[in-house]
């Protein structure tokens, strides 16, 4: 018996079995890691969207200065695009690394999940690997966010 199970059982005693769902907390480390991973993916997606908006905004400011037509316009637009990509390169690289780290964590999480479903003994090791990589991914995302705030093209 775990402390978690005991506290949930006591909750049931206090409020009645029909409210089971409200008593049962998620103390399962795999579930916690899966939920944390889902939240991280949402945060990464939001950070990437913001970064793209920053880049597009940078490009639009430059492109607005280009001539309205002609061959010079094409060159000018290309230059504006190149400048926007370069201005955002550092943050893009960090975000790219964050995505790769998260994907690596997802592989470990999936393996841990499969260990659970197969009732195999590998779950703890896989979960530990996933948590390590998730921590790195969160740190990488934080660095990207800080750098984006500093650079703000």
Give me the residues that bind other proteins (CB under 8 A), please. 1, 5-6, 8-10, 12-15, 17, 20, 23-24, 28, 30-31, 34-35, 37-38, 40-42, 44-45, 48-49, 51-52, 55-56, 59-60, 63, 69, 73-74, 77-78, 80-81, 84-85, 88, 92, 95-96, 98-99, 102-103, 106, 109-110, 113, 116-117
Contact by Cβ (8 Å): 2, 26: no
Alpha carbon distance 131, 37 (integer Å): 9
Residue (20 or 121) nearer to other proteins, CB: 20
CA distance 66 to 80: 9
CA 50 to CA 58: how far, in whole Å?
A: 12
- Cβ distance to other proteins smaller for residue 73 or 146: 73
């Amino acid at each position: 018996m775990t402390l978690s199970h005991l506290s949930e059982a006591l909750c049931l005693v206090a409020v009645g079995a029909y409210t089971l769902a409200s008593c049962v907390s998620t103390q399962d480390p795999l579930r916690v890691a899966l939920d944390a991973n889902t939240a991280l993916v949402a945060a990464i997606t939001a950070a990437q969207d913001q970064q793209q908006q920053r880049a597009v905004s940078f490009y639009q400011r430059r492109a607005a200065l280009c001539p309205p037509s002609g061959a010079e316009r094409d060159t000018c637009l290309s230059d504006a695009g190149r400048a926007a990509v370069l201005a955002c390169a550092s943050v893009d690289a960090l975000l790219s690394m964050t995505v790769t780290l998260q994907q690596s964590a997802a592989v470990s999480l999936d393996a841990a999940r499969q260990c659970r479903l197969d009732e195999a003994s590998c779950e703890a090791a896989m979960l530990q690997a996933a948590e390590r990589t998730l921590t790195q991914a969160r740190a990488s995302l934080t660095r990207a966010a800080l750098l984006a705030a500093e650079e703000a093209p």
